[in-house]
Amino acid sequence: MDIRHIKTVCAVIIPFVVFFIGGCGKPAKTGKEPNEPAAKIDMGATIGSLAEVFSFELIPVEGYGLVGGLSGTGSGECPAPIREYLKQYILQQLTEDKGNVDELINSPDTAVVIVQGIMPTAVQKNQYFDVKVIALPGTQTTSLEGGWLYGTELKAIGGFGIAIKALATAKGPVFIDTLDPNETNKKIGYILAGGRVLDEYEVNMGLRRPDYKTASLICNKLNGRFGDGTARAVSPSQIELKVPAAYKKQKQRFVSIVKAIYLAETPEATKERINTFVKKLAVSEDKYASETALEAIGNESLSKLAALLNSSQEQVRLGAARCMLNLGSDGGLNTLREIASNKDSTYRVEALDAITTSASRNDAIAISRNLLRDDDPNVRLAAYENLRKLDDIAVTQKLIARNFYLEQITQTEYKGIFVSRSGQPRIVLFGAPIYCHDNIFIQSANGSITINAPAGQKYVSIIRKHPKRPNVMVQLKSSFELSDIIQTLCEEPLKKTKEERRGLNVSYAEAIALLKQMCDKGAVEAEFWAGPLPKIELTIKKK
């Protein structure tokens, strides 16, 4: 990506990024903070003072797509420019049977939708993210429930047309949350983990004053610190950066460290810098900036950081220990473990995340497994998430109907059911196996699905009415184990020739609503909690 293109992207994206994160940042500082130490000498030029680093953590994207599989709740209404664009795009995707695209768009079983997402760039190519689908305003579409978003391309917000480069694609089943019926709008849904990033985004740096000598000095400095190939000067004004393997999970931290690196070094200057930033970490409000500045200096900071592990302020101990761990020292591991285990701490999850990111796999697994038994549900959930990232055997995983994961954790007596409503769709059973009682009768909101087990019955009956022929019903049997019930509900119906498990093809959204009802009515003695919905709030513009 050349510097001109970067600046163009900046002009388009920055207003939306500011809108998206507005209110979340810290207020700008004016003057010197109380007790903040002053530098005794000029500490020299940092890379950030000489160059602008172009790196976006989030890029708003949008597009238009077609949701199919609707039972007459769609609409063929579509403005001419959008229809023409969809026709061209759909025809490009079809290799053989082109069919009648107008007929497909006009069907009441399809609906044209606006597709929106916040695409992460601090990830690798093919990384997935959530997208939002919204029935086109002004049309007769009444519901997207049960639909499937066909392949759609997403572009930087404000871009439209077949010739504009796509940054991501999206497809998948539409998820409409019904856990709170009063908040349900069936014209709006999500494709959980349905967006896919098409390219890996490198970090680019533009020198404020183009100069090959300065560019060369910066490249030599970064390659010496992080390894050959980290930095490459492509012109007197532009440097391309590759995020080192050690920072693949911390791209934005890597950017902060690059900005904080000093070009010139002397033992005296390094000592002065360390002393200054150690004092700032101890007393200033912006502790993260001081932490990354010390990490930018490198291993020379370790002895002074170790002294901060005895600070009376837990936030200072956290920053020092995390910094040490990122520099390859285990000296702060015990401090992070203590913070993560401290039931009175407000930094428990942050400490656990630092351990998972930078500690050895064995240490991270041991600490996370122990915290699976914690009283705080947020800590238990964070421990599970980290074990999942580490691919630990404590979390067993099975893909259900090519749609969502059923995960089970046995290493805790606590019984709980967690369901995700953003990211990869997952039902997680803490304290598995979990069993339901007999003498239960659970029915979906529309009456199409029934879970029934009269007192004394040795199995659970699961009945589903045909979505288009309500007089036709399918009944299957399940054991009382909750994982068995979930699979019987949601696995796909199979041909008689197959010996695999048969299911009723119930959607993920319907399944989690039934699970909540089972917990609420006492059919299952387990705590039910759901993750947050995706936060995708972009302005809808009329074309």
Question: What DSSP designation does 532 have?
Answer: P
Q: What average pLDDT does this structure show over 104-133?
A: 89
d(CA 484, CA 403): 17
Angle separating helix axes 348-358 and 314-326, nearest 10 degrees: 10
d(CA 19, CA 511): 35
pLDDT for 95 equals 55
pLDDT at 2 over 50: no
d(CA 494, CA 502): 6
pLDDT at 502 over 50: yes
Query: Of the segments 89-98, 198-207, 431-440, 529-538, which one has the largest average pLDDT value?
Result: 431-440
| Reported CATH class of domain 265-392 | mainly alpha
Return the minimum-mean-pLDDT range out of 92-106, 173-187, 503-517.
Answer: 92-106
pLDDT for 168 equals 93
d(CA 431, CA 434): 7
pLDDT at 26 over 70: no
> Residue ranges per domain, the chain?
58-197, 265-392, 394-534
- Give the DSSP letter string of 124-177: -TT-EEEEEEEEPTTS-----TT-EEEEEEEEETT--STTSPPSEEEEEEPB--
pLDDT at 299 over 50: yes
pLDDT for 21 equals 33
Return the minimum-mean-pLDDT range out of 403-407, 468-472, 495-499, 521-525.
Answer: 495-499
| Angle 357-226-269 from CA coordinates, rounded to 5° | 105
Please name the residues in contact with 256: beta carbons below 8 A apart, sequence gap of 6 or more. Answer: 288, 289, 292
HSE-CB of 188 using CA atoms within 13 angstroms: 11
Q: What average pLDDT does this structure show over 262-284?
A: 93
Distances (CA, A) of 73 to 131, 147, 193: 21, 10, 24
pLDDT at 83 over 60: yes
Q: What average pLDDT does this structure show over 426-439?
A: 96
pLDDT at 18 over 90: no
Q: What average pLDDT does this structure show over 486-496?
A: 83
pLDDT for 22 equals 35
Q: What average pLDDT does this structure show over 151-177?
A: 88
pLDDT for 510 equals 95
pLDDT at 497 over 70: no
Distances (CA, A) of 42 to 268, 269, 273, 304: 11, 9, 10, 21
| Angle 125-130-134 from CA coordinates, rounded to 5° | 130
Q: What average pLDDT does this structure show over 167-174?
A: 95
Question: pLDDT band at residue 539, thresholds of 50, 70 and 90?
Answer: low
- Residue 219 is encoded by which pair of tokens? 């490249």
- Residue 281 is encoded by which pair of tokens? 């970490």
pLDDT for 227 equals 94
Question: pLDDT band at residue 31, thresholds of 50, 70 and 90?
Answer: very low
pLDDT at 439 over 60: yes
Question: pLDDT band at residue 36, thresholds of 50, 70 and 90?
Answer: very low
Three-class secondary structure of residue 217 per DSSP: helix
Q: Cβ(168)–Cβ(197) under 8 Å?
A: yes
d(CA 519, CA 516): 5
Q: What average pLDDT does this structure show over 181-191?
A: 89
pLDDT for 97 equals 57
Three-class secondary structure of residue 418 per DSSP: strand
Return the minimum-mean-pLDDT range out of 44-48, 121-125, 412-416, 457-461.
Answer: 121-125
- Residue 10 is encoded by which pair of tokens? 């900046």
Three-class secondary structure of residue 117 per DSSP: strand
Question: pLDDT band at residue 203, thresholds of 50, 70 and 90?
Answer: confident
Q: What average pLDDT does this structure show over 496-504?
A: 65
Beta strands in 267-423 (DSSP E): 395-400, 404-409, 416-419
Top-confidence residue, 267 or 201? 267
- Residue where the block lists tokens 């932490």: 291
Question: pLDDT band at residue 57, thresholds of 50, 70 and 90?
Answer: confident
